[in-house]
């Protein structure tokens, strides 16, 4: 009962925010972000530590960037609540696409597309912009700690035309089938992947990194298209689409997946260095360290994708 009350509270808040002019949403979000900066002491300190160490900045330089980051987080939160305003007819008022030909060309190859992205800018509006363009966008998502937050986010994701898969074996099989149909599958690849991730260097420190983008790229011979949303000074977002990256198969699966993961991680780092106040520096990105690194997630992800392919073959035989 309480959880349903939370959902309806967020929905009511969203309706109110969606009735405002966009300029008001940005202004209120700016002040909300400044308030968040002052009350979120642990996140602020963690972010400052990460950015000063990772980018070799002074404390004063780091604080300036982190203050800007928190301001943008406040705006992003209200923009997510503003999502019902977005339609195929008007979304380009808020989101401008750059280099859309890269996505068109990648999808035209017919192997599906792996979208590489991160918690940069308004990543929810990144997915919205891609889907509202008319591309077949799907995404593997992580559930929020609060189920009602997840419920609302998934409702809005589906509203703009995205197909959503939660992390888990059954959902990954469905995601694999979507790739087989030539759809684009998005991965947020900047979170700590735990004891079973691939350990690579990220901002000078070892980080457990999700193997999913590399595994899917290998299995489906799919191009990886990096995409990010960064904020415009005048309001709204630039949706940056980068040149596709391709998995190199030398026959050594473990090393090939690791090397491709390193390439993708290096690209993410370069984008963050270019737009440092757009990334969530307070993420616990470097928590897991490789005392005894394992590759269980690589094996599990590979097996799951293979299971999806096997299901497709059985369905084809039965048909």
Q: Residue 191: what pLDDT?
A: 92
Domain count along the chain: 1
- Domain membership of residue 300 (yes or no) is no
- Domain membership of residue 124 (yes or no) is yes
- Domain membership of residue 44 (yes or no) is no
Q: Cβ(277)–Cβ(68) under 8 Å?
A: yes
Q: Cβ(59)–Cβ(67) under 8 Å?
A: no
- Domain membership of residue 100 (yes or no) is yes
- Domain membership of residue 183 (yes or no) is yes
| Domain encompassing residue 257 | 88-274
187: DSSP letter: E
- Domain membership of residue 105 (yes or no) is yes
Per-residue pLDDT of the chain in tens (319 residues, 90 and over written 9): 446 888 889 999 999 999 999 999 999 999 999 999 999 999 999 999 999 999 999 999 999 999 999 999 999 999 999 999 999 999 999 999 999 999 999 999 999 999 999 999 999 999 999 999 999 999 877 766 677 888 899 999 999 999 988 766 567 788 889 999 999 999 999 999 998 799 999 999 999 999 999 999 999 999 999 999 999 999 999 999 999 999 999 999 999 999 999 999 999 999 999 999 999 999 999 999 887 544 455 555 555 555 555 555 555 555 4
- Domain membership of residue 295 (yes or no) is no
C-alpha to C-alpha distances, 95 to 12, 71, 79, 121, 238, nearest whole angstrom = 25, 19, 12, 12, 6
Q: How many angstroms separate the first and last alpha carbons of the chain?
A: 45
CA torsion 146-149-150-152 (nearest 10°) is 150
CB contact set of 213 (below 8 Å; sequence gap of 6+): 114, 116, 187, 189, 224, 261, 264
Q: Residue 1: what pLDDT?
A: 46
In DSSP notation, 158-208 reads: HHTT-EEEESSHHHHHHHHHHHHTT-EEEEE--S--GGGSEEEEETTEEEE
What is the Cα–Cα distance from 96 to 93, expressed in whole angstroms? Answer: 7
């Amino acid at each position: 009962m309480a959880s349903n009350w939370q959902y309806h509270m967020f929905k009511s808040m969203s309706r109110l925010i969606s009735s405002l002019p966009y300029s008001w949403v940005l202004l209120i979000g700016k002040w909300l972000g400044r308030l968040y900066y002052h009350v979120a002491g642990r996140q602020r300190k963690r972010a400052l530590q990460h950015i000063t160490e990772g980018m070799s900045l002074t404390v004063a330089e780091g604080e300036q960037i982190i203050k800007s980051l928190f301001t943008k987080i406040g705006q992003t939160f209200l923009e997510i609540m503003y999502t019902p305003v977005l339609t195929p007819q008007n979304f380009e008022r808020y989101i401008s696409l750059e280099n859309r030909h890269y996505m068109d060309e990648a999808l035209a190859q017919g192997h599906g597309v792996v979208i590489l992205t991160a918690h940069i800018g308004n990543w929810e509006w990144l997915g919205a912009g891609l889907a509202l363009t008319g591309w077949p966008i799907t995404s593997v998502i992580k559930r929020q700690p609060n189920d009602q937050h997840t419920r609302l986010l998934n409702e809005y994701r589906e509203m703009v035309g995205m197909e959503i898969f939660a992390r888990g074996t059954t959902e990954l099989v469905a995601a694999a089938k979507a790739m087989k149909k030539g759809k684009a599958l998005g991965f947020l690849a900047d979170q700590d992947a735990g004891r079973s991730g691939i350990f690579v260097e990220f901002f000078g420190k070892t980080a457990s990194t999700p193997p999913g983008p590399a595994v899917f790229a290998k299995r489906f011979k799919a191009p990886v298209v990096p995409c990010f949303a960064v904020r415009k000074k005048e309001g709204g977002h630039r949706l940056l689409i980068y040149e596709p990256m391709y998995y190199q198969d030398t026959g050594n699966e473990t090393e090939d997946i690791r090397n491709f993961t390193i390439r993708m991680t290096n690209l993410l780092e370069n984008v963050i260095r270019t737009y440092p106040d757009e990334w969530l520096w307070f993420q616990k990105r470097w928590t897991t360290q490789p005392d005894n690194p394992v590759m269980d997630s690589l094996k599990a992800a590979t097996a799951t994708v293979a299971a999806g392919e096997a299901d497709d073959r059985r369905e084809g035989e039965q048909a």
